[in-house]
Structure 1
């Protein structure tokens, strides 16, 4: 798993916006300024849809007030599903969405998990990462089901506590 101080890997994906999806690399999206990144196992899945994403949508203004330049959600879903989820959650315009359809970013960050026993294949682990100027400043991964360590309130607490700047 990515650790504090590690650089952002450069892998392909699609950035989903109001006008559709564009091809990007992860370092281009996550590598400038202060970025809150969070990963979810799947768009529209119960915990992700009801507990994880809504916290970031509701706290987007607070995160920006705490110095965050960009909030990004990623999932191992195709860009059509991610766009539908962004629209359905009222997250479009507040949060950027990365469709990691092949799980390349999940692998590169060390956050890929096998959910085959649930019929879901390879997915992201539930986590959040604070990136500052191209490096991970803090990594929060869930140890079990639910949203505690990786949710928006935990990220706000880390920002308020003054997560150290990286050299």
Structure 2
């Protein structure tokens, strides 16, 4: 599993924007930036929609005031689902990134198999990334939602 002090995997993530599909090279996206990256098991799922993403939407301005260049949410969903979920959650301040085949999540060692529920998913986590290097990593215990909350990450800055 990725640890504090490790570089993010040099892979790509997709984002559907108003201008169309964008494929982000992770190394380039995070180069020279201070960012929050958080992951959810799935778009439109209960805890993710009721608490995890909304927390970052509400506190986005406070993160920016503390020097965060951008906040990104990643899930093993396609870019169309991530865009629809972001739109439904009024998450215009959050980059909604798709790890469609789970390769990014697997490269970080943060995948989980949920069987018939949804198959391959990401564990729930949040991290502070500076210039592509993980500075703070908070991975949730199974079925927990405590350490990856927006409030916890904001307090860590």
Which residue of the partner structure matches residue 163 of structure 1? none
- The correspondence for 1:138, drawn from 104, 111, 136, is 136
**Equivalent position to 2:127, from 100, 123, 129:** 129
**Separation (CA, whole Å) in 1 of partners of 2:107 and 2:32:** 18
Q: What residue is the counterpart of 1:158 in the other structure?
A: 156
For structure 2, the residue ranges without an aligned partner over 5 or more in a row are none
- Could you tell me whether the CA contact under 8 Å between 1:17 and 1:96 is conserved in 2? no
Aligned to 1:120: 118
Deviation string for 1:47-82 (max 9, x for gaps)? 101110000000000011111111000000011101
Question: Unaligned regions of 5+ residues in structure 1, if any?
Answer: 160-167
Please provide the CA RMSD for this pair.
1.2
Q: Which residue of 1 aligns with 2:26?
A: 26
Equivalents in 1 of 2:39, 2:31: separation in Å? 16
Shift in Å, 1:141: 0.6
Structure 1 residue 144, shift from structure 2 partner? 3.0
SS of 1:59's equivalent in the other structure is helix
Distance 1:84 1:5 in 2: 33
User: CA deviation digits over 1:2-50, x for unaligned, max 9?
Assistant: 1111011111220233333211222222333111000000000011011
